[in-house]
């Protein structure tokens, strides 16, 4: 975990601090976030991305809200995979998952004053102008 960075920033408007955990793929960021989610329990809201490693690679990404809803975020595919999609590298990104489930989970967490968890903030989410 030598290549893991953890930053806490105070918010200028007095809101809760923002914490950012960064590092290369596969070094344990999501494992740490899962431990935080487990400790916070129902006082947290938001989402995480589950991307299982199969034969040393990832061919799918699933978006999972802390309330238990899931959607396929992206699939490795050359053919159309979702009604509304954007190409990113070798993946088709499901815009409905980003613009629906992801954004809705963040809005709900903010509205209920929960700690907001976003595990996997990356280029797949930023294909959506609404998510930015």
List, for residues 41-82, the tens digit of each pLDDT value. 888 899 998 887 788 888 899 999 999 999 999 999 999 999
60, with CB counted inside 10 A (0-12, 13-18, 19+), is: middle
pLDDT at 94: 94
65: nearest Cα among 50, 81, 75, 82: 50
In a 3-state reduction of DSSP, which class is residue 13? Answer: coil
| Higher pLDDT pick, 121 / 91 | 91
């Amino acid at each position: 975990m030598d290549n893991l960075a953890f930053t806490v920033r105070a918010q200028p408007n007095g809101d809760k601090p923002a914490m950012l955990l960064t590092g290369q793929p596969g070094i344990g960021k999501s494992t740490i976030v899962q431990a935080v989610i487990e400790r916070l329990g129902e006082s947290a809201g938001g989402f995480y991305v589950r991307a299982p490693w199969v034969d040393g690679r990832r061919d799918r990404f699933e978006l999972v809200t802390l309330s238990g809803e899931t959607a396929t975020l992206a699939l490795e595919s050359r053919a159309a995979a979702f009604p509304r999609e954007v190409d990113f590298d070798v993946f088709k990104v499901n815009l409905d998952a980003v613009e629906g489930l992801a954004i809705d989970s963040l809005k709900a967490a903010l509205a209920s004053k929960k700690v907001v968890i976003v595990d996997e903030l990356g280029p797949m989410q930023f294909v959506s102008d609404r998510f930015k």
